[in-house]
Amino acid sequence: MKKTSRYLLPLIACLSLVYLSCDKSATAAVDPEITEADVPAVFSKIYGATSITSDGTYVTIKTNGVPDHKSIYQSASSGLYEDFSGSTFGGYQFIKNPNTIATQSLTFKIPIEPKVASSHAATPLGAIGVALNGVPFYNQYAGPNQPLTNEVMSFDQYWGHPQQSGQYHYHVEPLYLTQVKASRSALLGFLLDGFPVYGPEENGAEVSNDALDAYHGHSHATADYPEGIYHYHITDADPYLNGSGFYGTAGTVSR
């Protein structure tokens, strides 16, 4: 009996160690490292974003919506406040609206690989895209099917203005981007469907509405997309930025 115990005890101890070792390895499993997909380089041009991330399907752009240029609509205590009383878009005499630019919390979720939509959704009132400085693009309406006729007079020296909650935005050419930060033929931002927005010039010539389709764009190679892509153009005539809805399937914007 003593001899048997002498052999059984080490065997039991060994089996116990094996069991404990296996049990420990099962309960200490580590979750796989989750790495964020790379953000396509072209989106890094949105210098006004507070963050840009990607899940591989969508790029998420967060911005406070405050323009990085001077405006009569900036807070009087802001270093970016500048009085303005000249002529604005279309040669109209500027008339200030009662609103003041306020910090926003905007999240744009835009498809990385935009595709033409089978059914073209109308653009909504409010933000329909984002400019490189983080300011939202709006469509060609002041309200439901209301033209911009009575609003263009309130566009500041860089052709933007804030609405009632203080959200500054562009309906037309963002002069700060086309005349100061970049050029009139440069990439200016993206609409929610992921297709890029370019300025009112192309190959040294002014782009006319007649050269664009019903959605206010066309397809060919650009400096940012050498293999070609559909893209919108901002022009000086209605509908300015977008025509009969999104060319592609739109992502989302939330506040």
The per-residue pLDDT for 38 is: 87
At residue 32, does pLDDT exceed 60?
A: no
The per-residue pLDDT for 92 is: 96
Higher pLDDT, 16 or 143: 143
* C-alpha distances in Å from residue 60, one per residue of 42, 57, 107, 109, 136: 13, 10, 7, 5, 14
Mean pLDDT of 148-156: 94
Task: Express each pLDDT in 50-67 by its tens digit.
Answer: 999 999 999 999 999 999
Q: State both tokens at 167.
A: 């959200």
At residue 2, does pLDDT exceed 50?
A: no
The per-residue pLDDT for 29 is: 39
Higher pLDDT, 99 or 29: 99
Tell me the helices (H) and strands (E) count for the chain, helix number first.
2, 16
Residue 186's SS3 state is: coil
At residue 20, does pLDDT exceed 60?
A: no
Kindly report the number of other CB atoms within 10 A of residue 126's CB atom. Answer: 13
What is the Cα–Cα distance from 181 to 186, expressed in whole angstroms? 10
